[in-house]
Structure 1
Amino acid sequence: MALWTAFEAQAATGGYCAAPWEAYGVSIDTRTLQPGDLFVALTAARDGHDFVAQALEKGAAAALVERRPDGVAETAPLLIVPDVLQALIDLGRAARARCAAKVLAVTGSVGKTSTKEMLRTVLEFQGRTHASVASYNNHWGVPLTLARMPADTQFAIFEIGMNHPGEIAPLSEMVQPHVVMITTVAPAHMEAFESLEGIAREKADIVAGLMPGGAAILPADVPTIDILVQAALAKGATIVGFGETADAFRLTALEMHHDVTVIQARLRGAPAVLRLNTLGRHFAVNAMGVLAAVEALSGDPTRAAVDLFRWHPPAGRGRRETVSLDPADTNAYFELIDDAYNANPASMAAALEVLAASDRQEQTRQGPRRIAILGDMLELGQEEAQIHAQLAGNNHLLTLDVVHCVGPRMRACYDALPAAIRGRWVQEAQELASGLGELIAPGDRVLVKGSLGSKVSLIVDLIRNLGHRSQP
């Protein structure tokens, strides 16, 4: 069944198209466009109109444009509108209106994408599920995800993010969720907010579009929980808490082994044991929220608790990989933890806990080393130097064997590190390429963590190139 016909798209956007067409997907990028997609010519870093001809050559069913670009035939299937972004928003709203799915919106300072993917994984076994791709959580990512939603979707999960005040509420109002979830409130994007309380108030705006009778899944352990609760109560939401101090979905204990986190929990008072196929207290806490959300969506949390083990962290967000240095030698390998997509103090502490907990019983002076390569944490405001310096006193970091630092902000951490674990410091990520192979030995466990702008993902790629990788 077609996702959009020319008639439906014209009705939704008020645009004009001279020829009929049917689209089976929606794309904003010719590099990933599939035949049959509607190409949306957004204007961002580059003007999408410059790629309309290429999109049509690659088999696009039609293009959503503000004008007919040069080199495009007058008979080409163009849906012409006054404003492409507004038309995409209109498509998204129309898609939401025609769909009877149970809808969830998730936000938070840390863990939005991994939690969204957890939800996608467990709900796919309970019904037709649609979710945001990657981190499409902003003013164009949310309407694009809506516009891609098939009419027969049963569960829909939307990630909503922000960099500045006032961004979350209009996106929530667009999504109109039945359930909202806040993963946590932590110092992130502090350049745009005066305080942690300001961040909490912005995150609490996720309830702005909540449908009547909806539920709010809230992190019980955060110090700003009262702000979140008051916002949810003002919207008339049913409040469900999760976390280590929650009543409804409580994490009571956990053990982290080589590749598994074993969780002991109380779910609505009943004891339960769950497993995650990865390491991390932060993942375990958010798993409690996922089960609460599944229940609120009228799904089966018992089935979801079992299916959580099927989930793996997305690339750049704590994914573990084994890199083989010599396929002929089963001992010539090391482990890479790719957490290079984003970083703030909370997520950095969580990642260091994972690395510190990895196979402690095997750690000896002659045994495998635990190595951290840490890049700058961005958008922390005036206290960024102090925050980076304080990282050097993290209890989990102090148990590591070597810490390398990348970026001008991370210099403050490097200078404060104990000499015994201080590795290299470089101004830019690519500088670590020189001699990288000498920094890693067989048996090591290597964490790469930093904000996207620190470009430590380049180091992840270089490490992978040292051998042959696979997920453990």
Structure 2
Amino acid sequence: MTLWTSQDAAAATGGRVTRDFAIGGVSIDTRTIQPGDLFIALQAARDGHDFVAQALAKGAAAALVSRVPEDVAEDAALLVVPDVLVALEALGRAGRARMSGKVIAITGSVGKTSTKEMARVALAGQGKIHAAEASYNNHWGVPLTLARMPADTDFAIIEIGMNHPGEIEPLARLARPHVAMITTVAAAHLEAFGAIEGIAREKGAIFRGLIQPGTAVIPEDLAVTPLLRDCADESGAIVVGFGQQGVARPLKAETADGATHVRARILGETVDFDLGTAGTHFVMNAVGVLAALAAAGADVAAAGKALSAWQPPLGRGAVEELGGIRLIDDAYNSNPTSLSAGLATLVRLTGGRRVAILGDMLELGPEEIEMHRAMAEDAAMAEIDLVHTAGPLMKALHDALPPTRRGQHAENAADLAARVGDLVAAGDIVLVKGSKSSKVSAVVDALRRTRQSTPPGERKE
């Protein structure tokens, strides 16, 4: 399948083509590039121009560059532009413009990637589906996802993230969604915003990119829900609320053996579905996803049935049997809201001692130490048997715990991982959670090594 011809790509970017080509994919990484791809020579931690020759040697059909690298053959197929990132954005914009299907955009402080994957799985059998890889949700990930989108896509799911003010609106305007969903608003990247209200306004900026009349799917049960509703109203969106009080809401959720059966009311229709997780936060996100899909014109009953094939992505709450213990690998990210949800999932699983291994929650601003200390009062803590901690911020939680619940503390995750044999015992149910930069995933890796387990898939960074 031809995704872009050289003529189409040149017209989209305003670039100069050195010779004709046709591409079947778009790549920014020579490690995963496929024959026939267009290699994008982005300037990031390293200059992509240094890898153009390697990409072409691996079968890339052409490369998008701002200069011709010295080690590239004179007859190489190149698309030469003034600025590679600007050209990638233009290619993404053109990819979006030629697609006549429905676009669903998803953002939120917690659960963007897992919710995006829920939407992808739920839409199985309802046409040609296109979704972002992994967590491709930033200033290059969104245009890359759009540039990779086939013109005959029926449903596209675009994940949009942010670290600082002003990031979401331009990405939303690039994606031009018909439906935009916010999973939740929580204290993530709080140091860049000063208050939770600032985060809510930034998340609400996603609605400014909606094609009118667009639909805003918002969580109903938050203190900042009125602010999100204001953002949606300002954008002229149709508002659909999900939550205990929403027009999309769970009627019942029954958990057994790590799975959950849910009955929900979705925009007037009763839908039954199953999720392969005990986490109630996943239940609520699934309700929001079904509302978003219904707003986009999908068959919501069929989507509910298809959801049974969904599993949490590795590192985001997946549960596995691991050499005599049960492991919840939630080591990709953490903030007070997602940690509380992780602890609640831990206490729902029965059969052994409950052990939490926690790394620092980062980017929480000036109240970060108190936020860590306050987790000792979380409702689930009373049912957790032992809490091990790593990092200078988690020391506040360690000190706040009663001695009977206080496990080992280490200055960093690597030190804790070195003691992994002393942290858990056969029969334990173990949650490992922390912000990505806390590197608490080292504990997960050590558990797998010492218990001779092969991870159930490649870790998504």
TM-score, normalization by structure 1: 0.94
- The amino acid of 1:244's aligned partner reads Q
- In structure 2, C-alpha distance between the alignment counterparts of 1:273 and 1:104, rounded to whole Å: 22
Percent identical among aligned pairs is 55
The question of whether the paired residues in 2 share the 8 Å contact of 1:26 and 1:148 is answered with: yes
1:439 positional shift: 2.1
Asked if 1:369 corresponds to 2:368, the answer is: no
1:271 positional shift: 4.6
Name the structure 1 match of 2:373: 389
The question of whether the paired residues in 1 share the 8 Å contact of 2:271 and 2:301 is answered with: no
Name the structure 2 match of 1:437: 421
Please give the secondary structure, in 1, of the residue aligned with 2:301.
helix
Asked if 1:154 corresponds to 2:154, the answer is: yes
Name the structure 2 match of 1:365: none
- In structure 2, C-alpha distance between the alignment counterparts of 1:270 and 1:153, rounded to whole Å: 27
Name the structure 2 match of 1:293: 292
The question of whether the paired residues in 2 share the 8 Å contact of 1:109 and 1:188 is answered with: yes
Name the structure 1 match of 2:337: 346
The question of whether the paired residues in 2 share the 8 Å contact of 1:322 and 1:470 is answered with: no
Residues 405-416 of structure 1: pairs in structure 2 closer than 5 A? 405-416=389-400
Give unpaired runs (5+ residues) of structure 2: none
Residues 274-313 of structure 1: pairs in structure 2 closer than 5 A? 274-313=273-312
1:469 positional shift: 4.2
- In structure 1, C-alpha distance between the alignment counterparts of 2:164 and 2:10, rounded to whole Å: 33
Residues 241-320 of structure 1: pairs in structure 2 closer than 5 A? 241-246=241-246, 248-320=247-319
- Kindly tell me the number of residue pairs found equivalent between the two proteins: 456
- In structure 1, C-alpha distance between the alignment counterparts of 2:154 and 2:269, rounded to whole Å: 28
The one of 399, 419, 442 aligned to 2:383: 399
- In structure 2, C-alpha distance between the alignment counterparts of 1:311 and 1:58, rounded to whole Å: 34
Name the structure 2 match of 1:57: 57
TM-score, normalization by structure 2: 0.96
1:397-422 CA-partner distances (Å, limit 9, x unpaired): 23111111011111111111111111
The question of whether the paired residues in 1 share the 8 Å contact of 2:218 and 2:240 is answered with: yes
Q: Would the alpha carbon gap of residues 386 and 231 (structure 1) be closer, same or farther in structure 2, given more than 3 Å must change?
A: same
Between 308-317 and 230-239, the greater mean CA deviation after superposition: 230-239
- The amino acid of 1:195's aligned partner reads A
Please give the secondary structure, in 2, of the residue aligned with 1:396.
helix
TM-align CA RMSD: 1.4
- In structure 2, C-alpha distance between the alignment counterparts of 1:266 and 1:128, rounded to whole Å: 26
1:131 positional shift: 0.5
Residues 51-450 of structure 1: pairs in structure 2 closer than 5 A? 51-246=51-246, 248-324=247-323, 333-359=324-350, 362=351, 368-450=352-434
- In structure 2, C-alpha distance between the alignment counterparts of 1:46 and 1:252, rounded to whole Å: 51
The question of whether the paired residues in 2 share the 8 Å contact of 1:321 and 1:469 is answered with: no
Q: Would the alpha carbon gap of residues 146 and 269 (structure 1) be closer, same or farther in structure 2, given more than 3 Å must change?
A: closer
Asked if 1:468 corresponds to 2:453, the answer is: yes
- In structure 1, C-alpha distance between the alignment counterparts of 2:226 and 2:29, rounded to whole Å: 42
1:206 positional shift: 0.5
1:147-205 CA-partner distances (Å, limit 9, x unpaired): 00011110000000111111100000000000000111111111011211111111110
The question of whether the paired residues in 2 share the 8 Å contact of 1:318 and 1:339 is answered with: yes
- In structure 1, C-alpha distance between the alignment counterparts of 2:272 and 2:122, rounded to whole Å: 17
- In structure 2, C-alpha distance between the alignment counterparts of 1:68 and 1:272, rounded to whole Å: 56
1:70 positional shift: 2.1
The question of whether the paired residues in 1 share the 8 Å contact of 2:267 and 2:291 is answered with: no
Please give the secondary structure, in 2, of the residue aligned with 1:302.
helix
Please give the secondary structure, in 1, of the residue aligned with 2:366.
helix
Please give the secondary structure, in 1, of the residue aligned with 2:249.
strand
The question of whether the paired residues in 1 share the 8 Å contact of 2:98 and 2:151 is answered with: yes
Please give the secondary structure, in 2, of the residue aligned with 1:256.
strand
Give unpaired runs (5+ residues) of structure 1: 325-332, 363-367
